[in-house]
């Protein structure tokens, strides 16, 4: 049979193509294995965790702008319109119906008229940023702050909203941003948890431990929760055991554990359990020291308001102020992620313990503003004067904002996830700087609209982490803090 000219039927060409194809497949496999394969799909980065030392220091994906995070969460949906988002048109049209809002029904019902803030906004700092008299000391720090005025959420309900801001999902059971951070980066302090959550002295947020849980990540990355009023339980050494005997006992148990682990190589659960017990032993010495606020000088206690006394508001303020001092001390000790909660949820105590100002906003916020303002401002100033802000990103946020109207038949604002404010300070962000905007009444984000996914992506970026690649394989899905969403808000990033 005469040889055909079609190249695919030429035996020599067929063998040649087969050889090069096999070589190409082998090269592709090697490139993929070493994660240098050029393709449209970027491969996930899953940190390699040593169960015997889950908080070992791990390298970021690229050069970070910050090494630690202090995240301050004001529970209850703090009103942007009464704190940081100045709206002259809301003042001008006070008492009038909101255009297009005549049939608007929000979380708790029908809406009344546009209502200006009970507090005057004034220019603050050298930048002249307009901030409310509700938080004057924080306003004085406006030159150090980067405001995001165009955040949007996915829910107008507290629990799911708290979940969303803290975990990136409205449902329970997903890892918090602190868990993702310590999973990726580990810790620089072997004697303290890598991730500490400091609940408000009055209680926990409505979503409670979901705000600092590890979800499907290894349990080692759960936030350890304690505060200055209620330190960790069961840490004190029994009075009838001397310090030397206690130390010798721990050393002996450690040798036994290492010998036991050597008999079961590869048992990651055993290694993790031993690591957990050893961290607990370290914490027995380190946590009481770091949480003992009484050792602070009198002038520091006064600066924070931790010495406040008198009425109930001053007592609440002093408790939160002590938590702020604890947060600073943890940052000083190198704790990777500190989550500080301002406000708590109490059944039957609506509006008395958090920022949920539905019915009598002025009376409620007068308390909350007093509690938040001085201690938080002192915390930022203290971090700055100690040189800690150069490596620490400070984040203030809440689950959603509030309506520009008062609720029909009430003197407070309903929930509003369509537009609200967060701010950042310290390492990694431009300051003073404002990004995005809500409409003329503060109802909806209209300029440079940002999602919570974008917010999380930006925080991870500042820490040197790629939010699209940091992942954990769970139930057949490559899970991320930002799910399948999120864009880094590059406009707010500092040049260094």
Q: Is residue 468 included in any domain, yes or no?
A: yes
| Predicted local distance difference test score (pLDDT) of residue 247 | 74
Q: What are 163-172's pLDDT values in tens digits?
A: 999 999 999 9
Q: Are 345 and 375 members of one domain?
A: yes
- Residue finishing a domain among 214, 247, 280: 280
* DSSP 8-state assignment for residue 82: G
* DSSP 8-state assignment for residue 360: B
Of 412, 368, 451, nearest to 83 by C-alpha is 368
Segment 421-438 mean pLDDT: 98
Q: Are 221 and 159 members of one domain?
A: yes
Q: Are 257 and 383 members of one domain?
A: no
Domain of 93 in residue numbering reads as 68-231+291-492
Average pLDDT across the chain, whole number: 89
Say how far apart CA 44 and CA 486 lie, in whole Å.
16
Q: Is residue 35 included in any domain, yes or no?
A: no
Q: Are 222 and 240 members of one domain?
A: no
| H helix intervals, 305-387 | 312-332, 361-385
- Residue-wise burial string across 120-150, b where 16 or more C-beta atoms lie within 10 A, e elsewhere: ebeebbeeebbbbebbbbbbebbebbbbbbb
Q: Are 223 and 243 members of one domain?
A: no
What is the Cα 287 distance to its own chain's centre? 22
Using pLDDT thresholds of 50, 70 and 90, give the confidence band for residue 277.
low
CATH of the domain at 166: 3.40.720.10
40 has a pLDDT exceeding 50: no
Angular region, 77: left φ>0, alpha ψ -120 to 50, beta rest: left
Q: Is residue 349 included in any domain, yes or no?
A: yes
Task: With residue 160 as reference, give the H or E element that holds it.
Answer: helix 158-167
Q: Is residue 147 included in any domain, yes or no?
A: yes
Q: Which residue has the higher pLDDT, 91 or 279?
A: 91
Q: What are 195-234's pLDDT values in tens digits?
A: 999 999 999 999 999 999 999 999 889 999 999 987 766 5
What CA–CA distances, in Å, run from 118 to 356, 361, 374, 422, 456? 16, 9, 20, 21, 32
349 has a pLDDT exceeding 60: no
257 has a pLDDT exceeding 50: yes
Q: Are 260 and 306 members of one domain?
A: no
| Predicted local distance difference test score (pLDDT) of residue 120 | 98
Q: Are 372 and 436 members of one domain?
A: yes
Q: Are 259 and 358 members of one domain?
A: no
Q: Are 195 and 253 members of one domain?
A: no
Q: Are 298 and 393 members of one domain?
A: yes
Q: Is residue 203 included in any domain, yes or no?
A: yes
Q: What are 92-126's pLDDT values in tens digits?
A: 999 999 998 878 889 888 999 999 999 999 999 99
Q: Please list the residues that pair with 146 across neighbouring strands.
A: 424, 433
| Predicted local distance difference test score (pLDDT) of residue 276 | 64
Q: Are 102 and 181 members of one domain?
A: yes
Q: Which residue has the higher pLDDT, 326 or 6?
A: 326
- Residue finishing a domain among 219, 253, 280: 280
Q: How many domains in the chain?
A: 2
Q: Is residue 363 included in any domain, yes or no?
A: yes
* Residue 278 near residue 254 (C-beta atoms within 8 A): yes
443 has a pLDDT exceeding 90: yes
365 has a pLDDT exceeding 80: yes
Percentage of the chain modeled with pLDDT above 90 = 70
Phi and psi, residue 252, nearest 5°: -65, -45
Q: Is residue 38 included in any domain, yes or no?
A: no
Using pLDDT thresholds of 50, 70 and 90, give the confidence band for residue 237.
low
Say how far apart CA 456 and CA 467 lie, in whole Å.
8
Q: Are 85 and 156 members of one domain?
A: yes
């Amino acid at each position: 049979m005469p040889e055909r000219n079609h190249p695919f039927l030429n035996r020599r060409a067929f063998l040649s193509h087969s050889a090069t194809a096999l070589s190409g497949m082998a090269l592709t496999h090697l490139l993929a294995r070493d994660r240098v394969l050029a393709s449209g799909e970027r491969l996930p980065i899953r940190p390699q965790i040593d169960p015997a030392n889950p908080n070992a220091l791990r390298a970021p994906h690229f050069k970070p702008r910050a090494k630690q995070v202090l995240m301050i969460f004001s529970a209850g949906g703090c009103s942007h319109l009464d704190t940081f988002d100045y709206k002259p048109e809301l003042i001008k049209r006070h008492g009038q119906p909101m255009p297009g809002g005549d049939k608007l029904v929000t979380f708790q019902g029908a809406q009344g008229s546009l209502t200006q803030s009970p507090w005057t906004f004034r220019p603050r700092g050298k930048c002249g940023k307009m901030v409310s008299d509700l938080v004057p000391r924080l306003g004085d720090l406006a030159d150090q702050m980067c405001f995001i005025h165009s955040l949007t959420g996915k829910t107008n309900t507290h629990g799911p909203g708290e979940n969303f801001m803290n975990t990136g999902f409205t449902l329970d059971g997903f890892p918090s941003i602190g868990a993702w951070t310590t999973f990726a980066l580990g810790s620089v302090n072997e004697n303290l948890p890598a991730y500490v959550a400091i609940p408000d002295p009055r209680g926990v947020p409505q979503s409670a431990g979901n705000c600092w849980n590890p979800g499907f990540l290894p349990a080692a990355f759960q936030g350890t929760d304690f505060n200055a009023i209620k330190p960790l339980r069961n840490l004190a050494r029994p009075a009838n055991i001397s310090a030397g005997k206690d130390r010798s006992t721990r050393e002996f148990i450690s040798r036994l554990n290492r010998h036991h682990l050597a008999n079961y190589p590869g048992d990651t659960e055993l290694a993790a359990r031993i690591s957990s017990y050893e961290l607990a032993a370290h914490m027995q010495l380190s946590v009481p020291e770091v949480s003992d606020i009484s050792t602070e000088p009198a002038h520091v206690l006064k600066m924070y308001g931790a010495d406040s006394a008198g009425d109930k508001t001053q007592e609440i303020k002093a408790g939160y102020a002590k938590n702020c001092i604890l947060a600073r001390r943890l940052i000083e000790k190198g704790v990777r992620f500190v989550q500080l909660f301002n406000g708590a949820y109490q059944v039957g105590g609506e509006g008395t313990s958090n920022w949920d100002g539905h019915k009598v906003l002025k009376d409620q916020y007068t308390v909350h503003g007093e509690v938040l303002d001085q201690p938080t401002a002192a915390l930022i100033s203290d971090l700055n004067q100690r040189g800690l802000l150069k490596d620490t990103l400070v984040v203030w946020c809440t689950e959603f904002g509030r309506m520009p109207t008062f609720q029909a038949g009430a003197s407070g604002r309903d929930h509003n996830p369509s537009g609200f404010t967060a701010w950042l300070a310290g390492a990694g962000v431009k300051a003073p700087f404002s990004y995005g905007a809500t409409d003329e009444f503060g109802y909806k984000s209209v300029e440079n609209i940002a999602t919570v996914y974008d917010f999380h992506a930006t925080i991870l970026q500042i820490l040197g982490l790629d939010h699209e690649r940091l992942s954990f394989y769970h139930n057949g899905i490559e899970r991320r803090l930002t799910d399948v969403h999120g864009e880094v808000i590059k406009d707010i990033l500092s040049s260094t």
